[in-house]
């Protein structure tokens, strides 16, 4: 199935998730991000000095026929940029995967490495920007260059997707922009991000999906109690109800 939209037109060459993942991993379009991710992989954090860092763009992870699609910001410098799997190897990932496990969407409650046996059920996680950025802040140009990858992945997941969960304001803004480009009927003015904010929207052919906002499971939010385990569990339970 093909979906309309200017960005989707750029993604037609990706016929499978596997083909898209290979293209993402090979990408070198953003010089600043390439330099940073590779520098981090060489310098390393002292506690991981004996490990081999991934040091490349990070593809999505999870079910290729997912009903729940989780969108994050970008890989962590010493998390996904080290392990090669999104939200893996850092505290944000610990918080996220433990929640997914509690609601029945993950095989185990931790995600420490790419070969730890973790599996996601009916769920896939992707990031709006696929390389670890300095200070966790990609530029406007870098976001735009990476956007077609998100469009391609959404396009490939759309036949089964029922709920989208955006982790943080940037993921929310990027996701809504992609859905608009694909011809979805997004309310005007566009809904503002907030934890628990959600709305239903329809594709041009009438398929309904729900979009849900959640605070990002960063230390800034989880250590301060702005985002609690119960709050994140509630988001995924809401997504499951739409499944």
Using 50, 70 and 90 to split pLDDT, how confident is the model at 210?
very high
C-beta separation of 2 from 13 below 8 A = no
242 pLDDT more than 90: no
Residue 227 lies in a domain: yes
Is residue 205 domain-resident? yes
> What pLDDT does 243 receive?
59
Per-residue 3-state assignment (H helix, E strand, C coil) for 34-79: HHHHHHHHHHCCHHHCCCCCCCCCCCCEECCCCCEEEEECCCCCCC
User: What is the predicted pLDDT for the residue at 132?
Assistant: 97
pLDDT of the residue at 9: 38
CATH of the domain at 88: 3.40.470.10
| Separation between Cα atoms, residue 72 and residue 202, nearest integer Å | 22
Residue 164 lies in a domain: yes
- At residue 12, does pLDDT exceed 90? no
Find tokens 């609690």 and name the residue: 228
What is the gyration radius of the CA atoms in the chain, in angstroms?
A: 17
CA distance 141 to 37: 17
- State which residues form the domain around 52: 6-241
Tell me the per-residue pLDDT of 91-128, one tens digit each, with 9 for 90 and over.
999 999 999 999 999 999 999 999 999 999 999 999 99
Nearest residue to 177 via CA among 167, 186, 168: 186
How many domains is the chain partitioned into structurally?
A: 1
As to burial, measured by CB atoms within 10 angstroms (0-12 exposed, 13-18 middle, 19+ buried), residue 160 is middle
- Starting at the earlier edge strand, list the strands of the sheet with 123-127: 61-62, 123-127, 68-72, 163-167, 208-214, 198-202
The answer as to whether 229 is a domain residue is yes
17: left (phi over 0), alpha (psi -120 to 50) or beta: alpha
Q: Is residue 165 part of a domain?
A: yes
Of residues 103, 114, 8, 105, the one with CA closest to residue 63:
105
Q: What is the pLDDT of residues 157-193, one digit of tens each?
A: 999 999 999 999 999 999 999 899 889 999 989 999 9
Q: Are 36 and 134 in contact (CB under 8 A)?
A: yes
Is residue 1 assigned to a domain? no
The answer to whether residue 72 sits within a structural domain is yes
CA angle 5, 235, 160 (to 5 degrees): 40
Over the stretch 69-79, which tens digit does the pLDDT of each residue have?
Answer: 999 999 999 99
């Amino acid at each position: 199935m093909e979906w309309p939209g200017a960005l989707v037109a750029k993604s037609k060459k990706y016929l499978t998730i596997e083909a898209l993942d290979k293209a993402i991993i090979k990408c070198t379009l953003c010089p600043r991000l390439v330099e940073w991710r590779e520098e981090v992989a060489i310098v390393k954090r002292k506690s991981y000095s004996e490990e081999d860092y991934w040091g490349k763009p990070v593809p999505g992870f999870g079910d290729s026929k997912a009903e729940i699609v989780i969108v994050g910001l970008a890989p962590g410098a010493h998390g996904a940029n080290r392990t090669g799997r999104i939200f893996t190897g850092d505290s944000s990932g610990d918080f996220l995967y433990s929640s997914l496990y509690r609601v029945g969407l993950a095989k185990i409650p931790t995600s420490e490495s790419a070969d730890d046996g973790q599996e996601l059920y009916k769920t896939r996680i992707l990031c709006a920007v696929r390389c670890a950025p300095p200070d966790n802040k990609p530029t406007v140009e870098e976001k735009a260059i990476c956007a077609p990858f998100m469009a391609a992945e959404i396009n490939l997941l759309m036949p089964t997707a029922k709920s989208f969960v955006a982790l943080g304001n940037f993921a929310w803004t990027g996701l809504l922009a992609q859905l608009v480009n694909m011809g979805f009927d997004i309310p005007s003015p566009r809904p503002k991000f907030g934890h628990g904010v959600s709305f239903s929207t329809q594709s041009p052919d009438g398929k309904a999906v729900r979009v849900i906002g959640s605070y990002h499971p960063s230390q800034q939010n989880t250590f301060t109690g702005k985002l609690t385990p119960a709050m994140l569990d509630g988001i995924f339970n809401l997504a499951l109800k739409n499944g």
